[in-house]
Amino acid sequence: MRIIRLPGIHHDANAVIFAGNESSVLVDAGTTWYQMLQVERISGHLGERKLSKILLTSRRYPFSGAAKYISENNGNIPIHIHEDAISVLQTGDFYSTWANRYDSDMPSTDCVQVTQGDQFKLGDGSITALSLPGHCTDGMGYFEVEREVLCTGAVLPRADTPSRWDMPGGSLPELISSLNTIHDLSPKSIVPARGPAIRGRERIDEVINQHLTFLENCQDDDGQVPRSWPRPARTAYFLVSEPPWPLLEKESSK
């Protein structure tokens, strides 16, 4: 089993290849902006092999925009997403996917439903689907069971940037619940929506607890973000802290 993070370019979210000895899947696809490059990056790692499935963590354009193109370039493989997002992607809704915020169109994309507990066998590994609502109702995570690697999607945007809940489909209590789910799962490594992987249970606990403390304080304050924090950009599905939170462990950032 090889696990390969394709770092997001510009507005793209991280995409992750899980390459098993029998089949390979891609978690998240990025925007349409770099979809041709994304196909080249995938083939550069897989060679003559093709992906068998695409698993999406949410409807949002940075995660789902390129899914149709990547699917077509891998033999029209199935694209899996939570049922709440299937009609949204089929109709190419550029409002609730946020494609309009990027001055882009959302391709009409046929998808297959994925639900909590669904498993995808890769030969020498397997991936389990995990419901992680909060940023939006269709939030999903994907957990590679044998190596304990979790892809979180927008519910954990990056170690230093908590998720937004102040958008259609967002829910602060559900976001808190999803982060508690991640904490209880206790993965060895997390691939967030943006930026580097978060490795080691001690560092993961530190990150999750910082996010939870912030979100719980916001909940106690009627869901309000501290006034000192910068207002989110139009395209941002995350909040930026003030003062900044650490992106890396202190030892790694020296």
Listing DSSP states for 60-117 in one string gives: SHHHHTTHHHHHHTTTS--EEE-GGGHHHHHTT-TTTT-GGGGT-PPPP---EE--TT
Contact between 55 and 140 (Cβ < 8 Å): yes
Q: Return the pLDDT at 252.
A: 42
Whole-angstrom Cα distance, residue 58 to residue 153?
7
Is residue 37 over pLDDT 70? yes
Assigned CATH class of 2-253: alpha beta
Q: Return the pLDDT at 234.
A: 87
Mean pLDDT of 107-130: 97
Whole-angstrom Cα distance, residue 3 to residue 142?
13
- Confidence at 250, pLDDT banded by 50, 70, 90: low
Domain residues of the chain, as ranges?
A: 2-253
* Whole-number percent of the chain with pLDDT over 90: 95
Q: Return the pLDDT at 168.
A: 83
- pLDDT tens for each residue of 160-207: 999 999 988 899 999 999 999 999 999 999 999 999 999 999 999 999
Dihedral of alpha carbons 155, 159, 164, 165, sign: positive
* Whole-number percent of the chain with pLDDT over 70: 98
- Confidence at 11, pLDDT banded by 50, 70, 90: very high
Q: Return the pLDDT at 170.
A: 94
Q: Return the pLDDT at 20.
A: 96
Whole-angstrom Cα distance, residue 86 to residue 79?
10
Chain-wide mean pLDDT for the chain? 95
Is residue 69 over pLDDT 70? yes
